[in-house]
């Protein structure tokens, strides 16, 4: 179910534009509007799930699908050799700003440790 006030649901519905890099029947990926690396995409499910903390067992395959799409997007961006980092923030305190679950995929530059 789409949440009326959710910006990512609006992207899913095509009501707000996004620089899509992948989409299928369950999910889509698009460029982060505030990129933190040469490649920085977000992968989201079409279904509205507020955060990883709200995901339940029936979402298992969908969550894995998001990770596999992220790997695919990274590969297509030429990051298979140099590597990439996948990040999911859960809760405002961890940096989550849109409450529709999303996996960040970053690569194309040196990624330091710790991850924030």
Q: Which residues are identified as catalytic?
A: 102
Size of the site for a copy of itself (CB under 8 A): 48
Nearer to a copy of itself, 10 or 65 (CB): 65
Which range touches a copy of itself (CB under 8 A), out of 4-12, 14-22, 50-58? 50-58
C-beta of 19 vs 68, nearer to a copy of itself: 68
Q: What DSSP designation does 8 have?
A: H
Cα–Cα nearest to 101, from 77, 73, 65: 65
Question: What are the b/e assignments for 27-41, b being 16+ CB within 10 Å?
Answer: bbbbebeeeebebbb
Q: Which residue has the tokens 């009501």?
A: 15
Q: State the residues that interact with a copy of itself by CB under 8 A.
A: 36-37, 52-53, 55-57, 59-65, 67-68, 70-71, 74-75, 79-96, 104, 106-107, 110-116
């Amino acid at each position: 179910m789409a949440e009326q006030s959710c910006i990512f649901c609006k992207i899913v519905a095509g009501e707000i534009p996004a620089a899509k890099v992948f989409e299928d029947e369950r999910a889509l990926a698009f460029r982060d509007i505030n990129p933190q690396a040469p490649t920085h995409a977000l992968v989201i499910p079409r279904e509205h799930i507020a955060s990883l903390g709200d995901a339940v067992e029936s979402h298992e395959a969908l969550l894995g699908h998001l990770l596999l799409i992220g790997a695919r997007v990274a590969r297509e961006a030429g990051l298979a050799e140099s590597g990439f980092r996948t990040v999911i923030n859960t809760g405002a305190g961890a940096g989550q700003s849109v409450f529709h679950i999303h996996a960040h995929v970053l690569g194309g530059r040196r990624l330091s440790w710790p991850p924030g």
